[in-house]
Chains A and B, each alone.
Chain A
Amino acid sequence: MPKNSFKTRLEIAKNKLSRKSLYKNKQSPSSIGTAFKMSTELVSAVVVGTIIGFILDKTFGTKPWLILIFFFVGVVAGILNVFKSAKKMQR
């Protein structure tokens, strides 16, 4: 029965395909992208905060204070960044 065997083969192939797509959904390449994103996001916000604090300190002449404040604000912003992308990942 060539027709029947073709049908079963088609069924098996379809099954394989659906399983493959299921596997793909679980571990899509974009999740690797988000993982890479998280690693630098924390650091870069701290850097930006510190640079802003440094520039403001220079313009206002309040030497150590604004850089200290903006460093910690940058840390908070970095944590917020990671938090946001983690939330995006869960969706």
Chain B
Amino acid sequence: MAINPMHQFNVYRIGPEIKLGEIDISFTNASLFMVISSITILLIFNLGSKKNSLIPNKMQLLAELSYTFISKMISDTAGSKAKPYFSFIFSIFMFVLFCNMFGMIPYSFTVTSHIIVTFVLASFIFMGVTIIGFIKHGLGYLKLFVPSGVPLVLMPLIVVIEIISYLSRPISLSVRLFANMMAGHTMMKVFGGFVISLGIVGGWLPLSFSVALTGLEILVAFLQAYVFAILTCIYLNDALNLHH
């Protein structure tokens, strides 16, 4: 097999082919890794919240730490009004984080390195935030597109610009996560290929490079999950506290 750095992103079917009308809904390796990460999250948080001892064990500590981390992030960026949406943001953060982290295991598949996965996540966030905004403010939510203090002549242009800037949110949200994950994983595989092709004489330099890259990628995996969650909070803040 030739060394192809893009080979890791192949999606293939596991088990039988299932078809719903024209749409192929068979179980793939991508779905397998989504299921694995969801089950891991459920297990960690079930085990972590089973025994509420005063002195926590490791599982409970992990669950409580992530709880306070997200809860602090929400209250910092979106205020106290966003408390009811804690579970939504928490599950998004945990899902993205675990998908990214499972992708760091060799021979595994990175779900978030596919734009369709991140785009579906981002567009659901976008739709949800828009619906929340319309429920909370009614048609007054449209004031988001009309900044105050703009002369009437410029108004149509400004409204169009604001609408485009609003519609660009899900794209920027999804492309950021997808591009970071894909670029990082491709780079790791390229350096891995250098190790093989340079052999035992010159392979040590790319090997040390790819060790460093692995550390960087773990940082990026965490940071991108964090950015994804914090931007959800910022959008939610715009929908809840309308100030324009």
Residues in chain A within 8 A of chain B (CB atoms): 29-30, 32-33, 36-37, 39-41, 43-45, 47-49, 52, 70, 73-74, 76-78, 80-81, 84, 88
Q: Is the CB of A81 within 8 A of B176?
A: no
Known A-B contacts A77-B168, A78-B168; the reply to A40 vs B176 at CB < 8 A is yes
Known A-B contacts A29-B226, A30-B76, A73-B160; the reply to A39 vs B176 at CB < 8 A is yes
Give the complex CA separation of A45 and B164 in angstroms: 6
Interface assignment of B108: CB less than 8 Å from any CB of chain A: no
Give the complex CA separation of A73 and B160 in angstroms: 8
Q: What are 23 A-B pairs at a CB distance below 8 A? A: A30-B73, A32-B223, A32-B227, A33-B227, A36-B176, A36-B223, A36-B224, A37-B176, A37-B227, A41-B168, A41-B172, A45-B168, A48-B167, A52-B167, A73-B164, A74-B164, A76-B161, A77-B161, A77-B162, A78-B165, A78-B168, A80-B162, A81-B165
B176: A residues at CB distance < 8 A: 36-37, 39-40
Interface size on B, residues (CB 8 A): 24
Q: Is the CB of B226 within 8 A of A33?
A: yes
Q: Is the CB of A33 within 8 A of B231?
A: yes
Interface assignment of B6: CB less than 8 Å from any CB of chain A: no
Residues in chain B within 8 A of chain A (CB atoms): 73, 76-77, 157, 160-162, 164-165, 167-169, 171-172, 175-176, 179, 223-224, 226-227, 230-231, 234
Give the complex CA separation of A30 and B76 in angstroms: 10
Q: Is the CB of B179 within 8 A of A73?
A: no
User: Distance (Å) between the CB of A76 and the closest chain B CB?
Assistant: 5
User: Distance (Å) between the CB of B138 and the closest chain A CB?
Assistant: 24
Give the complex CA separation of A40 and B76 in angstroms: 23
Q: Is the CB of A47 within 8 A of B171?
A: yes
B161: A residues at CB distance < 8 A: 73, 76-77, 80
Q: Is the CB of B226 within 8 A of A47?
A: no
B169: A residues at CB distance < 8 A: 44
Q: Is the CB of B231 within 8 A of A37?
A: yes
Q: Is the CB of B77 within 8 A of A30?
A: yes
Q: Is the CB of B223 within 8 A of A45?
A: no
Max count, chain A CB within 10 A of own CB: residue among B157, B160, B162, B165: B165
> For residue A37, which residue of chain B has the nearest CB?
B231
Give the complex CA separation of A80 and B163 in angstroms: 12
A76: B residues at CB distance < 8 A: 161
User: Distance (Å) between the CB of B221 and the closest chain A CB?
Assistant: 13
Give the complex CA separation of A8 and B168 in angstroms: 55
